Chains A and B, each alone.
Chain A
Amino acid sequence: MTPRTMPRLAPRSVLLIVLGVLLVALVVGMEQLAPLFRAWFPDQNPAMYERESFLNLTLAHVALVLVSSLISVGVGVGAGLFVTRPAGREFAPLVSTLAAIGQTFPPAAVLAIVVPLAGFGFVPTLVALILYGLLPVVQNTVAGLGTVPPQTLEAARGNGMSAWQILWHIELPLAMRVIVAGVRVSVIINIGTATIGSTVGATTLGTPIIAGLVGNNLPYVIQGALLVGLLAIVTDLAFERLERRFSFGASGATP
């Protein structure tokens, strides 16, 4: 924390707080808006998704993304570290290519392909999310570690740091910004893919959307889409803040 930003909040932080509060309010109190939806869609009955509370849907969605992202980050950072150490360097080109080609696969198609292997429900969605979420994390871990200047590493070695100390005190902190950017991409994609996961039987915020699309019930669609859109935007803004924390006084944010 640099002292100069302490006194007033940046406009983006205000946005984050406002949207965050809005998200929580909608998750908890969507039912209060029932009269509004009834007035807006007088022909629709019911005009409010009631098969499951929005709180439960949101928690299930968040849990799915959280669990898959934690695993993705653990495995992805681990793989990124492995291919940048002397022992694993031989695997680096293959892993990078795999991450690049894998990301051209449509997330929805990956989700669909997992079904024959893992069945319907929570598990295939989780597996697809983990697999897909791995790729940006691996890619950015490798890229981030690659941005550490060779002179810095030489200086660290020359000052008597062990390989472990260099990794922990020099390489990881310097690569952290890029790694966090990768996690951000991964989590945002996963929030979206988890939504589609409701088509393979996972309970998420996509459930009311799909129910609405199938049953031609527009209010359901709007309620689900609003929450999941807001969830994604708030998460993205929070990650933007987190990224900035690892800039070490250097200027600006990435576009």
Chain B
Amino acid sequence: MIELQGLTKRYGDTRVVDDISLTVEQGEFCVLIGPSGCGKSTTLKMINRLIAHSEGRILVGGEDVTTLPPELLRRRIGYAIQSTGLFPHWRVAENIATVPRLLKWSTSRINARVDELLALFQLDADDLRDKYPHQLSGGQAQRVGVARALAADPDVLLMDEPFGAVDPLTRDALQVELARVHRQTGKTIVFVTHDMDEALRLASRVALLNGGRLVQYDRPAELLVDPANDFVRDFIGRADLGLKLLSRRRVEQYYQPAQGTRDATITQAATTHARPTWQVDADNRPLALIGGRLEEPATVRTDVNGEWTATPDMSMKEALSRMVWFRVTALPVLDDQGRLLGEVTMAGVMGHRP
């Protein structure tokens, strides 16, 4: 979808972006990351020609970006920056309608699109439509900024540290929402950040830049388990490496069949600590765990509690955290009806290495 071929930007004799080549596939969420001054923002801005490149080629949807007038190109590519990029003299609805108005859509079509986008970002249209940007909270303003970038339904969305200026709680919420919007819309996103956790959380591919050069371009998990060199290792941070990796994994990649029984009188796990037994009801909903606790006899019975269960789309980091917190070596994995699909275990966390 987006292809950078030998992309270079020179200011005088300095090469701030130096011979970068990479391909972002359709629907991919590509995060450009690196220390400040590594050229990540410059790379992003060359894609919609806010900055002219010195050498190389940029293809979007197979077309060289230089074949189009820059204004027309930019109207086909969404662009979101920090919330200060909202136009302070336009109301929320006008801000969102920026590109559709440039494209001369009909009023009714624009209104419908604004409502659709406000709904997509779970913003209250009646309340917010006619507010000015400075009347919004940081999180609301940021959602409006992303909504504006999506307004004309572009295939590609460029985002330049969009969540850099909001508080950590709001940022968490915005990241969850962006991930959801990405899943729902299937847009190709190029996203610049300097925050590794944000990158690991959102990216389907991470491009790590340093000194204008592309150091590694990989899936987040590969970046973690197979860093190209010491710079990558240092940049990711050696601490919490295992947890970072688990944060990228989901329970559905790990869970195994569980041993369930409907025998209400069972007192001892059928096998060892490693394979505890689940007591289930008639609908296969887990009631209790027999065994499965470290340094306790295999006969100990723990009632299943809503908080120490797992779902297939939960991150493994979260599952592990719950095991530690509730002092069990296994969690039941439930489907959306609460039925037992399988289990994740401590041993499984250790043993699994895809």
Q: Which residues of A contact B (CB under 8 A)?
A: 149, 151-152, 154-162, 165, 170, 173-174, 248-250
CB distance from A167 to the nearest CB of B (A): 13
Quick check: is B311 within 8 A (CB to CB) of the other chain? no
Quick check: is B262 within 8 A (CB to CB) of the other chain? no
With both beta carbons as reference points, the residue of chain B lying nearest to A148 in the complex is identified as B88
Q: Beyond A159-B148, A174-B89, is A165–B102 a contact (Cβ under 8 Å)?
A: yes
**Cα(A149)–Cα(B71), bound, Å:** 20
Q: Inside 8 A of A156's CB, which chain B residues have their CB?
A: 87
**Cα(A160)–Cα(B69), bound, Å:** 10
Please tell me if the beta carbons of A248 and B89 are within 8 angstroms of each other in the complex.
yes
Please tell me if the beta carbons of A152 and B102 are within 8 angstroms of each other in the complex.
no
Q: Inside 8 A of B102's CB, which chain A residues have their CB?
A: 159-161, 165
Apart from A159-B99, A248-B88, what 9 extra A-B contacts exist at CB < 8 Å?
A151-B85, A152-B84, A152-B85, A157-B74, A160-B75, A160-B76, A249-B132, A249-B134, A250-B134
With both beta carbons as reference points, the residue of chain A lying nearest to B135 in the complex is identified as A249
CB distance from A158 to the nearest CB of B (A): 3
Q: Inside 8 A of A160's CB, which chain B residues have their CB?
A: 70-76, 99, 102
**Cα(A250)–Cα(B50), bound, Å:** 30
Please tell me if the beta carbons of A159 and B84 are within 8 angstroms of each other in the complex.
no
Cross-interface CB contact of B79 among A152, A159, A165, cutoff 8 Å: A159
Please tell me if the beta carbons of B81 and A155 are within 8 angstroms of each other in the complex.
yes
Please tell me if the beta carbons of B81 and A154 are within 8 angstroms of each other in the complex.
yes
Please tell me if the beta carbons of A161 and B84 are within 8 angstroms of each other in the complex.
no
Q: Inside 8 A of A157's CB, which chain B residues have their CB?
A: 50, 74
Quick check: is B86 within 8 A (CB to CB) of the other chain? yes
Q: Which residues of B contact A (CB under 8 A)?
A: 48, 50, 70-76, 79, 81-82, 84-89, 98-99, 102, 132, 134-135, 148-149, 158
Please tell me if the beta carbons of B74 and A159 are within 8 angstroms of each other in the complex.
yes
Please tell me if the beta carbons of A154 and B85 are within 8 angstroms of each other in the complex.
yes
- Interface of A: prevailing SS: helix
Please tell me if the beta carbons of A155 and B88 are within 8 angstroms of each other in the complex.
no
**Cα(A173)–Cα(B88), bound, Å:** 10
Q: Inside 8 A of A152's CB, which chain B residues have their CB?
A: 84-88
Report the 9 A-B pairs with minimum CB-CB distance, sorted nearest first: A155-B85, A158-B79, A160-B75, A160-B74, A249-B132, A248-B89, A151-B84, A151-B85, A160-B71
Q: Beyond A160-B99, A160-B102, A248-B132, is A155–B87 a contact (Cβ under 8 Å)?
A: yes
- Interface of B: prevailing SS: helix
Q: Inside 8 A of A158's CB, which chain B residues have their CB?
A: 48, 50, 74, 79, 81, 85, 158
**Cα(A149)–Cα(B148), bound, Å:** 18
Q: Inside 8 A of A151's CB, which chain B residues have their CB?
A: 81-82, 84-85
Please tell me if the beta carbons of A161 and B71 are within 8 angstroms of each other in the complex.
yes
With both beta carbons as reference points, the residue of chain A lying nearest to B49 in the complex is identified as A157
With both beta carbons as reference points, the residue of chain A lying nearest to B44 in the complex is identified as A158
**Cα(A17)–Cα(B234), bound, Å:** 70
Most buried by B among A152, A154, A156, A159: A159
Pick 19 A–B contacts, CB within 8 A, sort by A.
A149-B84, A151-B82, A151-B84, A152-B88, A154-B81, A154-B85, A155-B81, A158-B48, A158-B79, A158-B85, A159-B75, A159-B99, A159-B102, A160-B99, A161-B98, A161-B102, A248-B89, A249-B134, A250-B132
Q: Inside 8 A of B88's CB, which chain A residues have their CB?
A: 149, 152, 174, 248, 250
Q: Inside 8 A of A173's CB, which chain B residues have their CB?
A: 89
Q: Inside 8 A of B70's CB, which chain A residues have their CB?
A: 160
**Cα(A21)–Cα(B134), bound, Å:** 38
With both beta carbons as reference points, the residue of chain B lying nearest to A250 in the complex is identified as B134
**Cα(A173)–Cα(B90), bound, Å:** 10
Q: Inside 8 A of B98's CB, which chain A residues have their CB?
A: 159, 161
**Cα(A250)–Cα(B158), bound, Å:** 30
CB distance from B33 to the nearest CB of A (A): 20
Q: Inside 8 A of A161's CB, which chain B residues have their CB?
A: 71, 98, 102
**Cα(A161)–Cα(B79), bound, Å:** 12
**Cα(A105)–Cα(B98), bound, Å:** 45
**Cα(A229)–Cα(B155), bound, Å:** 62
Q: Inside 8 A of B84's CB, which chain A residues have their CB?
A: 149, 151-152
CB distance from B157 to the nearest CB of A (A): 11
Q: Inside 8 A of A155's CB, which chain B residues have their CB?
A: 79, 81, 85-87
**Cα(A158)–Cα(B84), bound, Å:** 14
**Cα(A161)–Cα(B70), bound, Å:** 9
**Cα(A165)–Cα(B73), bound, Å:** 16
Please tell me if the beta carbons of B81 and A170 are within 8 angstroms of each other in the complex.
no
Q: Inside 8 A of B134's CB, which chain A residues have their CB?
A: 249-250
CB distance from A184 to the nearest CB of B (A): 20
**Cα(A152)–Cα(B76), bound, Å:** 19
CB distance from B105 to the nearest CB of A (A): 14
**Cα(A199)–Cα(B278), bound, Å:** 105
**Cα(A165)–Cα(B88), bound, Å:** 16
**Cα(A157)–Cα(B73), bound, Å:** 11
**Cα(A220)–Cα(B50), bound, Å:** 65
Q: Inside 8 A of A249's CB, which chain B residues have their CB?
A: 132, 134-135
**Cα(A154)–Cα(B79), bound, Å:** 10
Q: Beyond A160-B99, A170-B87, is A154–B71 a contact (Cβ under 8 Å)?
A: no
**Cα(A67)–Cα(B135), bound, Å:** 40
**Cα(A11)–Cα(B162), bound, Å:** 43
Cross-interface CB contact of B50 among A154, A170, A174, cutoff 8 Å: A154
**Cα(A81)–Cα(B148), bound, Å:** 28
**Cα(A152)–Cα(B73), bound, Å:** 19
**Cα(A214)–Cα(B221), bound, Å:** 93
